[in-house]
Amino acid sequence: MRLIAVLFILIVASIGAFLFFMRGYAKTPKALPKETATPSEDWVKDAVIYELFVRNFTLEGTLNAATARLAELQRLGATVVWLMPIHPIGEVKRKGSLGSPYSVKDYFDVSPDLGTKDDLKNFVAEAHRLGLKVILDVVINHTAWDNALIKTNANFYTRDKDSNIVSPNKDWSDVADLNYAVPELRRYMTDMLLSWIRECDVDGYRCDVSELIPMDFWKECNAELRAAKPSLMLLSEGTLPEHHVIGFDLTYSWNVYDALVAVVSGKKPATALDEVLEIEAKVFPQNTLRLRFNTNHDKNAYDGTPTELYKGKAAAKTTAVLAFTLGGYETLRGVPMLYNGDEVGNTKRIGLFEKEPIEWKTENAEEFRAFYTELIALRRRESALRRGTMTKLKSSNDEAVFAYERTHENSRVVVALNLRNAPFTGFLKVDADKTLLDVFDAQKEFATKDGNLRLSLNSFEHKIFVYKL
């Protein structure tokens, strides 16, 4: 029996290690709850990030065409535009007819399909005029196979036992892996990142597969970037607590996304969200900022749009409410992002290798745009949703309903999410003898005489309340 138990533990551990690797981790995370995260600018803490795929954002697929629509994003309430990679794309071993923007042929130029470096400067200048920030998506773990570096600096690349340059893994066959044991590579990449700040006045970077790049590189590089422009936003596409103490503002909350997908699909109870948030608070440094989302370009392309993944527009909206109102336990906070097209209820997957323009005139476009506009305005209006502490609220069915209160100074917001495909009728435990106002229907008031908020929610319905002053 002991041998069987040992074998079972080894099998479970092996599966866990495999899944851990597939998530993109370079090493097991180290818990740092007693450390303090890199201080972030107020605009970073208050940000609403909009991820923009230039190729598919407009029919033209250019930076100039996207520039002409920046005012729409401002009206929506976005404050930061994250441009997916804008560099020339490799042709050797290319996937699809146009290739992935994450296969970079030239780090110092703009893809001619999108425009010119001057077009990028104009995009940034117009964004700044409208009060928006711009961050670039940078891919420095690997390059395209026809990047000039393969010829001019072949020592920058990782090789196998036969001295052949290799991809990071078998699936990423269109890119070649870089070797950060080479000091010259580190200097090259740091100088490249500095150049876009100095030439185009960008406001930061989203750093692709950042966990596959050594920690000591990021520590040195981020320090140089912040010396050049202290107000940067640095977003790590990773989940390592250590990234928060070496210069990154934000890491991806894949933990919440994975739990959310499992809950909405019925595979886990809503209490799974509480569990991952409790672990998060025990692992991450004080004052950590986590990127909250219900989709992104990878998940859209491979898992489906929110309406597809979450089985309908009701759940698509409710999962968005979670992303935009969720903070974190203890001193952790959240910063939300949305992917282009979500604001009109996009129902089409946007692949990474072809031109697939977003359909902006969807059946539910007006409904979704009004929903996101109101949700973002609520976040801006209620400081509790940006800076407030978060407390889990008990309901009469915590298996189905995930509810919480956010509090900051005079701002108090209650959020209730029915994450089951079945109606809920019951109550939430809240402060007694108070009156709550329905955010989306100001005419509705709810009394809490006995500390119980009576509540009825349809399948995947959400409610947001504020305390009446």
Give the pLDDT confidence score for residue 75 in this predicted structure.
98
Please state the rounded mean pLDDT for residues 274-286.
Answer: 97
Is residue 254 within 8 Å of residue 23, measured between CB atoms? Answer: yes
SS3 (DSSP) at 435: strand
* Closest to 79 measured CA to CA, from 131, 120, 39, 40: 131
Please state the rounded mean pLDDT for residues 204-233.
Answer: 98
* Closest to 424 measured CA to CA, from 397, 394, 385: 397
Q: At what angle do helices 183-200 and 215-228 cross, to 10 degrees?
A: 30
Is residue 427 within 8 Å of residue 326, measured between CB atoms? Answer: no
Helix (H) or strand (E) segment spanning residue 415: strand 411-418
Strand partners, 452: 429
DSSP letter (8 states) at residue 209: T
Please state the rounded mean pLDDT for residues 61-90.
Answer: 98
User: Is the pLDDT score of 235 beyond 80?
Assistant: yes
Q: Which pLDDT band holds residue 28 (cuts at 50, 70, 90)?
A: low
User: Is the pLDDT score of 82 beyond 60?
Assistant: yes
> The tokens 């107000």 sit on which residue?
231
Strands 289-292 and 250-252: parallel
Helix (H) or strand (E) segment spanning residue 425: strand 424-429
In 53-109, where does DSSP find H-type helix?
54-57, 63-67, 70-76
CA distances from 159 to 154, 181, 261 (A): 10, 12, 38
User: Is the pLDDT score of 11 beyond 60?
Assistant: no
* Closest to 222 measured CA to CA, from 211, 208, 233: 233
Is residue 192 within 8 Å of residue 107, measured between CB atoms? Answer: yes
User: Is the pLDDT score of 294 beyond 70?
Assistant: yes
Cα–Cα distance between 294 and 336 in angstroms, integer? 9
**The overall pTM is greater than 0.85:** yes
Please state the rounded mean pLDDT for residues 304-330.
Answer: 97
Is residue 12 within 8 Å of residue 226, measured between CB atoms? Answer: no
Phi-psi domain of 266 (left: phi exceeds 0; alpha: psi -120 through 50; beta: other): left
Give the pLDDT confidence score for residue 8 in this predicted structure.
32
Helix (H) or strand (E) segment spanning residue 454: strand 452-457
Lookup: tokens for 312: 């309908």
Q: Which pLDDT band holds residue 305 (cuts at 50, 70, 90)?
A: very high
Give the pLDDT confidence score for residue 10 in this predicted structure.
33
Please state the rounded mean pLDDT for residues 49-67.
Answer: 98
User: Is the pLDDT score of 12 beyond 50?
Assistant: no
Give the pLDDT confidence score for residue 449 in this predicted structure.
86
Please state the rounded mean pLDDT for residues 311-317.
Answer: 97
Cα–Cα distance between 114 and 61 in angstroms, integer? 6
Cα–Cα distance between 1 and 367 in angstroms, integer? 59
Backbone angles phi, psi at 338, to 5 degrees: -135, 150
Instruction: Tell me the residue type at 13.
Output: A
Is residue 286 within 8 Å of residue 37, measured between CB atoms? Answer: yes
Strands 333-339 and 289-292: parallel
Helix (H) or strand (E) segment spanning residue 462: strand 462-467
Cα–Cα distance between 446 and 467 in angstroms, integer? 10
Give the pLDDT confidence score for residue 19 in this predicted structure.
35
- pLDDT digit string, tens, across residues 100-131: 999 999 999 999 999 999 999 999 999 999 99
Instruction: Tell me the residue type at 337.
Output: M
Give me the domains of the chain, ranges plus CATH numbers.
25-388 (3.20.20.80), 393-467 (2.60.40.1180)
Cα–Cα distance between 383 and 385 in angstroms, integer? 5
Cα–Cα distance between 319 and 315 in angstroms, integer? 6
Contacts of 388 (CB under 8 A, 6+ apart): 327, 382, 406, 407, 408, 411, 413
Number of C-alpha atoms within 13 angstroms, CB side, residue 218? Answer: 28
Lookup: tokens for 355: 């031109």
